[in-house]
Amino acid sequence: MTVITCIDDFKRIYRRRAPRMFYDYCESGSWTEQTFRENVSDFDKIRLRQRVAVDMSGRSTATQMIGQDVAMPVALAPVGLTGMQHADGEIKAARAAEKFGVPFTLSTMSINSIEDVAGATSKPFWFQLYTMKDQGFVSSLIQRAKDAKCSALVITLDLQILGQRHKDLKNGLSAPPKLTLSTMANLATKWRWGIEMMSAKRRHFGNIVGHVQGVSDAADLGAWTAEQFDPTLDWDKIAKIKEEWGGKVILKGIMEPEDAKMALQVGADAIVVSNHGGRQLDGALSSIRALPSILDAVGDKTEVHIDSGIRSGQDVLKAVAMGAKGTYIGRAFVYGLGAMGQQGVTKALEVIHKEMDVSMALCGRRRIDELGRDILKIPADFEGRWAD
Ligand X SMILES: Cc1cc2nc3c(=O)[nH]c(=O)nc-3n(C[C@H](O)[C@H](O)[C@H](O)COP(=O)(O)O)c2cc1C
- The least distance separating ligand X from the CB of residue 374, rounded to whole angstroms, comes to 26
189 is in an annotated binding site: no
CB 162 within 8 A of CB 226: yes
305: three-class secondary structure by DSSP: strand
276 is in an annotated binding site: yes
d(CA 200, CA 343): 17
**What's the angle, vertex CA 266, arms to CA 264 and CA 268, rounded to 5?**
60
* Residue spans of alpha helices (H) in the chain: 7-17, 20-26, 34-45, 82-85, 89-100, 114-120, 135-147, 166-171, 181-187, 191-198, 218-228, 235-245, 257-265, 287-298, 313-322, 331-362
Q: Which 170-209 residues touch ligand X, going by CB under 6 A?
A: none
The residue among 329, 344, 351 whose CA lies nearest residue 86 is: 344
338 is in an annotated binding site: no
25 lines the binding site for ligand X (CB under 6 A): yes
Residue with smaller CB distance to ligand X, 315 or 366: 315
203 is in an annotated binding site: no
- The least distance separating ligand X from the CB of residue 361, rounded to whole angstroms, comes to 25
d(CA 176, CA 81): 10
| Part of the chain binding ligand X (CB under 6 A), chosen from 12-20, 56-64, 66-74, 76-84 | 76-84
Residue with smaller CB distance to ligand X, 54 or 162: 162
The single residue among 323, 330, 341, 344 that binds ligand X, judged by CB under 6 A, is 330
307 is in an annotated binding site: yes
The single residue among 113, 156, 207, 314 that binds ligand X, judged by CB under 6 A, is 156
- The least distance separating ligand X from the CB of residue 33, rounded to whole angstroms, comes to 12
69 is in an annotated binding site: no
- The least distance separating ligand X from the CB of residue 221, rounded to whole angstroms, comes to 14
| Part of the chain binding ligand X (CB under 6 A), chosen from 74-82, 207-215, 350-358, 380-388 | 74-82
CB 321 within 8 A of CB 371: yes
312 lines the binding site for ligand X (CB under 6 A): no
**Hey, which residues does 229 pair with through a beta bridge?**
132
The single residue among 80, 299, 323, 338 that binds ligand X, judged by CB under 6 A, is 80
Residue with smaller CB distance to ligand X, 95 or 331: 331
Burial (Cβ within 10 Å: 0-12, 13-18, ≥19) of residue 98: middle
Q: Which 333-352 residues touch ligand X, going by CB under 6 A?
A: none
The single residue among 24, 116, 282, 307 that binds ligand X, judged by CB under 6 A, is 307
**What's the angle, vertex CA 24, arms to CA 22 and CA 28, rounded to 5?**
130
Q: Which 27-46 residues touch ligand X, going by CB under 6 A?
A: 39
Closest-approach residue to ligand X (CB): 330
CA–CA distances in Å: residue 292 to residues 256, 299, 308, 368, 375: 10, 9, 15, 18, 15
Residue with smaller CB distance to ligand X, 163 or 323: 163
CB 183 within 8 A of CB 172: yes
274 is in an annotated binding site: yes
Q: What is the DSSP letter of 76?
A: E
Residue with smaller CB distance to ligand X, 215 or 306: 306
The single residue among 111, 212, 329, 348 that binds ligand X, judged by CB under 6 A, is 329
Beta strand pairing status for 270-273 and 249-254? Answer: parallel
Identify whether 276 is a catalytic site residue. yes
343: three-class secondary structure by DSSP: helix
CA dihedral for 87, 88, 89, 93, sign (positive or negative): negative
Site string for ligand X, 262-291 (x = CB under 6 A): ------------x-xx-x------------
61's enclosing H/E stretch is: none
Q: Provide Rg for the chain, Cα atoms.
A: 20
Q: Which 90-149 residues touch ligand X, going by CB under 6 A?
A: 107, 109, 128
331 lines the binding site for ligand X (CB under 6 A): yes
Instruction: List, by residue number, the catalytic residues.
Output: 276
Annotated binding-site ranges for glyoxylate:
25, 165, 276, 279
Interface positions with ligand X (CB under 6 A): 25-26, 39, 77-80, 107, 109, 128, 156, 252, 274, 276-277, 279, 307-310, 329-332
